[in-house]
């Protein structure tokens, strides 16, 4: 279950996300050095104070030591505060960069990946896992570095005062560090399980919240609550185990600290009784002992965090290792409406068994430039799949799709998708403003163009009803009727001005009256474009120049619309007459 | 940004969480107190050894005292193990109760208006706000235990050097008092940070919920830029909070260092008088270290109290004003209220409103009875879906009556649900389960019933093609299925209910003509005992209808039979 994270993985991560911030990191290192130095000075001053108080009557020296101490400590707090701030800044920049990279990477993955996810799980993958890495970025590395430094200097100072005490401290640190190193992976499996359980729980929750209306309509609220309960219990289980096993890494240092102070007291007493050191040095060493506990505890706590982070790294690496099945092309699509050629294509979805029927078999037909083809066929006959292939959401298994003479694999995905526009039946709206919903967050589109698009699609009146116009926040679920959503989707394509337009049941949820309006708008949208229209309503299909009919993954009929209509034996003509349901299904 | 009031005060919230923690909480508190009191002992032992050394009354290594220290350490470690177990146990009790109750609360709202924010954003409240609240209780235990430690330490210090002890405490008192002025700021910073986080999380959910649309639109670049902007806002809000918290806690910790410096300045006078003892200095420093920790924790705790108000306010918002304190009284989900066999379902003068009036429906009356089929039709935005949702209580009803066999329906949310009424929404959602789980929704009838539902929805051909038949996973929101398959799965899900009334919102829009005709043909055969209200534009369904209602701008424009309306030119076909 636990993959060991190679040192190299940490290193790569650090290099990628810290190198751009090397200046800030340098400042942070200086601040940490300063903090350490000042921290070491404190007990030293106190030790001197004790010895001076016992051995001399120089009152002004004692007073001076008090004032020094005060100044040192205030400076130290300031250094510390800036170090914290700096560490967090670096950490947040790094983790946000990672969030961005993850989002970019996953967004580019093909649908065979996304089919298996739900939005809640993506929240955990892109935000949750990275948040657990946040401390790794912001503090861990620097804290561990700073702590090691502090330990080394402590040993150095002690050696300068008395070699026996120095040896003792060094031996202690080596033993403690070894023990902590051995314990570092104890809780990882539980943290990892916990993160997975958490992703399941919140993924479930997101999906059910989004489907509230259905759950309510089906009366399955009780059932949903019970499933929610089960998932919570699973998370709880890992929470407890993770905490208990994770606890080892801070309980052990507490024990080690106590052992150290016992050692100091014992050895210190012996050295004093044999007249090798003064009481001031024992006090100082005891204080150092207290101080050494902190970095060791820090290291231990960071190891505790490191375990959580490791779980995060494993999951991040997992995602980053998933490669899109699609190889990006290199060419830009030419800026003109091309002919669309389906040349003998065969396709089966990647996760389906090989011996099953392919969804599409040996489909061939050509749409001349600027012509409109109507694609017909029963549900499940492969129409939507054909469209997905055109966008390269998947690649064909055999055959080739070409725009003019260029196979679509040659184009960059970005350019391909920029020049092909799609309107589907189910329109995805964002919980964002009307503007962002129309432009998909593209800030280069002017408001005038938006007004123009809305006017063309007859959405003017609808816009007037929106309290804040283009800035009105659209609820993703509810306030926009399904028909209006389809008009918004048409407006999106109108704004995009692609060369190839695909309408997949784009007006299915629109009433006949509004549809007339849309038909007029389509004249504008489709002018000079090559287009594919999937529609079940025959009125919509009448505008097509050609008709293609798919049946069970194969092309069963293709020809000019007018010709097929007048040929009374054609399937198309039969469909136009309808009423032939039984015959069609036989 | 202003401070929004919460119904539940932080103290009430604390009390509830403490109560919910029950015995785990008590054990946790007792353990921490015990641990910290034991932790005082090394201070006393160190002091005794050092003072004895200085007074030359110690001539050999004090083995007995060192042995005692070893014993104390062993004990502390065992208690710590107990803490790691009671900690999550205390927390989980509250977390679960809050999550469960809040989901229940949201489920009891009119479904369409139930979510105050995007689902992803609400998930962030379930995850972060609820996840963090119970930590406050554990923190409270730390404070209590540290305070006890401080009292004992303070008493001892006072015995050793009364005036120095009092002077040391002065800056501490002052700083704690001054911290009060920072409350509002802590609150505001926290609120902004949470809000920014919610937006990031919500955006991730929406983007990946619509990933195919994003890819097809080729708009990844713009979406990512928007994501980066949201990230930046969150970063700024977080850093501001971190800096402020750091400033606060360093103020607190600094107070102790000032105390130590004051002690040095005051003790040097005792030293001149010949009363100076090294062990006392060590003890002072040891105790002040712990008191420093207490103050630091206190600063954090004060901050948490403010942050707790933010979380409480956020939970009360999505809980539609349910006081957060009530989230701990767990009630089972209210039971379905059974209705007698249907004779008539009468809807009279029903008006339903969205936020702005244009989207409502006004004064709609209609009658349903077993075997009767009523169709609602009209242009986009006419209020067809709103009418169905209004009847079901998914939107607040403004005026009008719904009666079942002449008795008034007061609580549609618990009455007009399966097994009395089943509903299929216009854009049905499937969940990432198997086909079977999506249809049965946890209600196991026989396979015969399942097959019948699938057949009724003209879905049997597709299911047979699926790799694992009804056990096939449909993917998130049914993404593995085609649009038409999703609609028919949802239709099968509705048929499986076998209710007395069906409310169907435009369910066949993604179906090809042949499939659609067959669907309605089969439906015609099984609907004979069931009352149906269907939103559709399809002539075939209208032809079956006993009555057709044409809506326009939320009002009835025309009603009558199909032939009648065609004759009057009220239908465009």
Q: Which residues contact A344 (CB under 8 A, 6 or more apart)?
A: A362, A363, A364, A398, A399, A400
8 Å CB contact of A414 and B221: yes
Query: Which helix (H) or strand (E) is B91 found in, with range?
Result: helix B63-107
Average pLDDT along chain B, 573 residues, taken 10 residues at a time: 73 91 94 90 88 84 89 92 93 94 89 80 90 90 90 88 80 74 82 89 86 84 92 93 82 75 74 69 83 78 83 90 87 82 93 67 92 91 88 83 91 86 87 89 84 92 85 79 86 89 85 85 90 90 93 90 88 66
The answer to whether residues B108 and B334 touch, using CB atoms and an 8 Å cutoff, is: yes
DSSP helix/strand/coil, A445: coil
Distance CA B234, CA B220 (A): 21
What radius of gyration do chain B's Cα atoms show? 34
B-chain residues near A287 (CB < 8 A): 285
Tell which residue, A461, A81, A120, has the closest CA to residue B201: A120
Selected residues 139-158 of chain B with any CB under 8 Å from a CB in chain A: none
Secondary structure (DSSP) of A79-122: HHHHHHHHHHHHHHHHHHHHHHHHHHHHHHS-HHHHTT--HHHH
Question: In the prediction, which pLDDT does A584 show?
Answer: 37
B280/A contact by beta carbon, under 8 A: no
Selected residues 2-31 of chain B with any CB under 8 Å from a CB in chain A: none
Distances (CA, A) of B462 to A164, A219, A379, A425, B457: 82, 26, 9, 20, 11
Among A123, A254, A275, A493, the strongest candidate for a mutation testing the B interface, having the largest count of B CBs within 10 A, is A123
List chain A pLDDT tens, one digit each, 586 residues. Answer: 344 556 677 778 878 888 898 999 899 889 988 988 898 888 888 888 888 888 776 778 888 888 898 899 889 888 888 888 888 898 899 889 999 999 999 988 887 788 777 777 888 888 888 887 777 766 676 677 788 888 888 899 899 988 999 999 999 988 888 887 788 778 878 888 998 899 899 989 998 998 888 888 888 888 899 999 999 999 999 999 998 988 887 788 888 888 888 999 899 999 998 988 888 888 888 888 877 876 876 776 676 667 777 777 888 888 888 888 888 888 888 888 899 999 999 998 776 554 466 889 999 999 999 999 999 888 778 888 898 899 888 889 899 999 999 999 999 888 888 889 888 777 888 878 889 889 888 888 899 999 999 988 888 888 888 888 888 887 644 567 777 888 888 888 888 889 999 988 777 777 777 777 777 778 888 888 999 998 776 667 778 899 999 888 899 999 998 898 888 888 888 887 764 333 333 2
DSSP A362: E
Q: Which residues contact A358 (CB under 8 A, 6 or more apart)?
A: A346, A347, A348, A397, A553
Question: In the prediction, which pLDDT does A46 show?
Answer: 85
Angstroms from A8 CA to nearest CA on chain B:
28
Selected residues 188-227 of chain B with any CB under 8 Å from a CB in chain A: 200-202, 204-227
A-chain residues near B239 (CB < 8 A): 85, 88-89, 92
How many interface pairs between A and B have CB atoms less than 8 angstroms apart? 494
Question: In the prediction, which pLDDT does A354 show?
Answer: 47
State the angle between helix axes of B130-160 and B10-54 in degrees (0 to 180), rounded to the nearest 10: 30
Distance CA B414, CA B394 (A): 11
8 Å CB contact of A103 and B211: no
Is this complex's ipTM strictly greater than 0.90?
no
Angstroms from A462 CA to nearest CA on chain B:
9
Would the pTM count as exceeding 0.80? no
Selected residues 523-542 of chain B with any CB under 8 Å from a CB in chain A: 537
Question: In the prediction, which pLDDT does A477 show?
Answer: 47
Question: In the prediction, which pLDDT does A403 show?
Answer: 93
Peptide bond into B74 cis (omega under 30): no
For residue B555, the tally of other CB atoms under 10 A from its CB is 16
Phi, psi of A407 (to 5 degrees): -60, 140
8 Å CB contact of B268 and A481: no
8 Å CB contact of A85 and B515: no
Secondary structure (DSSP) of A139-205: IIHHHHHHHHHHHHHHHHHHHHH-HHHHHHHHHHHHHHHHHHHHTTTTTHHHHHHHHHHHHHHHHHH
Among B40, B209, B258, B260, the strongest candidate for a mutation testing the A interface, having the largest count of A CBs within 10 A, is B209
Which ranges constitute the DSSP H helices of B416-476?
435-440, 447-456, 460-465
B106/A contact by beta carbon, under 8 A: yes
Of B49, B69, B485, the CB nearest to A269: B49
B-chain residues near A432 (CB < 8 A): 206
Question: In the prediction, which pLDDT does B1 show?
Answer: 46
Question: In the prediction, which pLDDT does B2 show?
Answer: 56
């Amino acid at each position: 279950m636990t993959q060991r994270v190679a040192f190299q993985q940490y290193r790569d991560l650090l290099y990628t996300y810290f190198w751009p911030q090397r200046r800030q990191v340098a400042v942070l290192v200086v601040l940490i050095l300063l903090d350490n130095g000042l921290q070491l000075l404190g007990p030293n001053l106190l030790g001197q104070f004790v010895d001076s108080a016992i051995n001399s009557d120089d009152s002004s020296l004692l007073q001076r030591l008090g004032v020094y101490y005060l100044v040192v400590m205030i400076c130290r707090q300031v250094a510390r505060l800036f170090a914290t701030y700096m560490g967090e800044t670096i950490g947040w920049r790094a983790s946000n960069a990672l969030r961005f990279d993850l989002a970019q990477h996953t967004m580019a993955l093909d649908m065979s990946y996304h089919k298996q996810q739900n939005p809640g799980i993506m929240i955990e993958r892109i935000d949750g896992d990275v948040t657990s890495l946040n401390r790794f970025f912001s503090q861990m590395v620097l804290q561990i570095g700073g702590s090691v430094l502090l330990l080394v200097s402590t040993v150095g100072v002690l050696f300068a005062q008395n070699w026996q005490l120095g040896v003792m401290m060094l031996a202690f640190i080596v033993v403690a560090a070894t023990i902590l190193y051995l314990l570092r992976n104890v809780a990882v499996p539980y943290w990892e399980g916990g993160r997975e359980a958490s992703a399941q729980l919140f993924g479930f929750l997101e999906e059910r919240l989004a489907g509230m209306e259905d759950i309510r309509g089906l009366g399955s609220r009780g059932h949903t609550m019970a499933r929610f309960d089960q998932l919570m219990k699973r998370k709880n289980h890992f929470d407890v185990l993770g905490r208990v096993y994770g606890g080892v890494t801070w309980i052990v240092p507490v024990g080690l600290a106590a052992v150290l102070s016992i050692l100091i007291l014992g050895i210190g007493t012996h050295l004093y009784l044999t007249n090798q050191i003064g009481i001031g040095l024992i006090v100082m060493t005891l204080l150092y002992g207290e101080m050494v506990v902190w970095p060791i505890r820090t290291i231990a706590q960071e190891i505790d965090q490191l375990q959580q982070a490791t779980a995060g790294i494993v999951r991040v690496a997992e995602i980053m290792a998933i490669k899109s099945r699609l190889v990006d092309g290199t060419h830009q699509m030419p800026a003109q409406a091309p002919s669309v050629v389906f040349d003998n294509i065969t396709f089966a979805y990647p996760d389906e068994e090989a011996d099953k029927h392919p969804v599409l078999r040996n489909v061939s037909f050509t749409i001349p430039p600027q012509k409109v083809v109507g694609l017909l066929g029963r549900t499940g006959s492969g129409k939507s799949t054909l469209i997905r292939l055109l966008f390269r959401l998947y690649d064909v298994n055999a055959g080739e799709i070409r725009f003019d003479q260029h196979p679509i694999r040659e184009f960059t995905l970005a350019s391909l998708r920029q020049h092909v526009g799609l309107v589907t039946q189910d329109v995805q709206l964002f919980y964002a403003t009307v503007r962002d919903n129309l432009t998909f967050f593209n800030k280069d589109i002017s408001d005038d163009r938006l007004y123009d698009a809305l006017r063309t699609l007859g959405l003017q009146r609808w816009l007037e009803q929106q309290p804040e116009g283009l800035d009105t926040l659209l609820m993703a679920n509810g306030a926009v009727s399904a028909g209006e959503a389809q008009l918004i989707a048409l407006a999106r394509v109108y704004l995009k001005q692609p060369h190839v337009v695909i309408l997949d049941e784009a007006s299915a949820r629109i009433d006949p009256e509004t549809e007339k309006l849309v038909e007029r708008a389509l004249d504008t949208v489709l002018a000079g474009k090559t287009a594919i229209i999937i529609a079940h309503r025959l009125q919509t299909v009448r505008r097509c120049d050609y008709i293609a009919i798919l049946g069970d993954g194969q092309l069963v009929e293709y020809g000019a619309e007018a010709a097929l209509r007048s040929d009374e034996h054609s399937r198309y003509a039969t469909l136009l007459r309808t009423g032939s349901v039984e015959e069609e299904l036989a | 940004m202003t401070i929004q009031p919460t119904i539940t005060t932080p103290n009430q919230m604390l009390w509830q969480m403490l109560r919910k923690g029950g015995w785990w909480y008590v054990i946790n508190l007792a353990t921490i107190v015990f641990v910290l009191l034991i932790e005082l002992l090394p201070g006393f032992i160190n002091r005794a050894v050092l003072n004895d050394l200085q007074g030359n009354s110690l001539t050999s290594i004090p083995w007995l005292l060192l042995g005692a220290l070893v014993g104390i350490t062993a004990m502390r470690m065992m208690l710590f193990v107990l803490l790691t177990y009671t900690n999550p146990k205390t927390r989980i009790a509250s977390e679960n109760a809050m999550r469960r109750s809040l989901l229940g609360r949201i489920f009891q709202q009119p479904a369409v208006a139930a979510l105050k924010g995007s689902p992803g954003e609400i998930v962030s409240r379930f995850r972060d706000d609820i996840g963090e609240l119970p930590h406050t209780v554990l923190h409270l235990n730390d404070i209590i235990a540290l305070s006890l430690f401080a009292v004992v330490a303070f008493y001892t210090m006072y015995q050793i050097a009364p005036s120095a002890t009092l002077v040391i405490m002065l800056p501490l008192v002052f700083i704690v008092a001054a911290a009060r002025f920072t409350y509002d700021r802590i609150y505001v910073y926290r609120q902004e940070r949470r809000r920014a986080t919610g937006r990031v999380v919500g955006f991730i959910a929406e983007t990946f919920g619509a990933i195919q649309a994003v890819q097809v639109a080729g708009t990844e670049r713009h979406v990512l830029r928007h994501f980066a902007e949201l990230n930046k806002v969150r970063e700024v809000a977080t850093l501001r909070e971190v800096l402020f918290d750091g400033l606060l806690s360093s103020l607190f910790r600094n107070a102790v260092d000032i105390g130590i410096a004051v002690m040095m300045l005051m003790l040097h006078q005792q030293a001149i008088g010949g009363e100076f003892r090294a062990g006392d200095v060590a003890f002072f420093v040891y105790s002040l270290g712990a008191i420093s920790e207490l103050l630091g924790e206190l600063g954090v705790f004060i901050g948490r109290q403010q942050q707790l108000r933010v979380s409480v306010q956020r939970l009360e918002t999505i809980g539609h004003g349910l006081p957060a304190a009530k989230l701990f009284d767990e009630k089972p989900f209210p039971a379905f209220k059974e209705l007698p066999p249907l004779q008539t379902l009468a809807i009279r003068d029903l008006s339903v409103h969205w936020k702005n009036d244009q989207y409502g429906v006004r004064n709609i009356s209609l009658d349903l009875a077993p075997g009767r089929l009523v169709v609602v039709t009209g242009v986009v935005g006419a209020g067809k879906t709103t009418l169905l949702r209004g009847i079901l209580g998914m939107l607040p009803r403004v005026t009008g009556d719904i009666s079942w066999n002449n008795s008034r329906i007061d609580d549609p949310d618990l009455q007009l649900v399966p097994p009395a009424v089943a509903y299929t929404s216009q854009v049905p959602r499937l969940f990432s389960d198997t086909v079977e789980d999506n249809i049965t929704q946890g209600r196991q009838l026989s396979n015969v019933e399942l097959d019948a539902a699938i057949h009724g929805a003209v879905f049997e051909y597709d299911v047979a093609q699926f790799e694992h038949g009804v056990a096939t996973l449909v993917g998130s929101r049914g993404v593995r299925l085609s649009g038409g398959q999703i609609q028919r799965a949802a239709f099968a899900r509705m048929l499986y209910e076998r209710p007395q009334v069906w409310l169907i919102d435009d369910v066949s829009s993604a179906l090809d003509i042949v499939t659609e005709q067959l669907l309605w043909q089969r439906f015609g055969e099984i609907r004979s005992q069931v009352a149906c209200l269907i939103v559709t534009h399809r002539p075939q369904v209208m032809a079956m209808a006993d009555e057709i209602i044409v809506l326009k701008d939320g009002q009835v424009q025309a009603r009558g039979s199909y032939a009648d309306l065609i004759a009057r030119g009220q239908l465009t076909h």
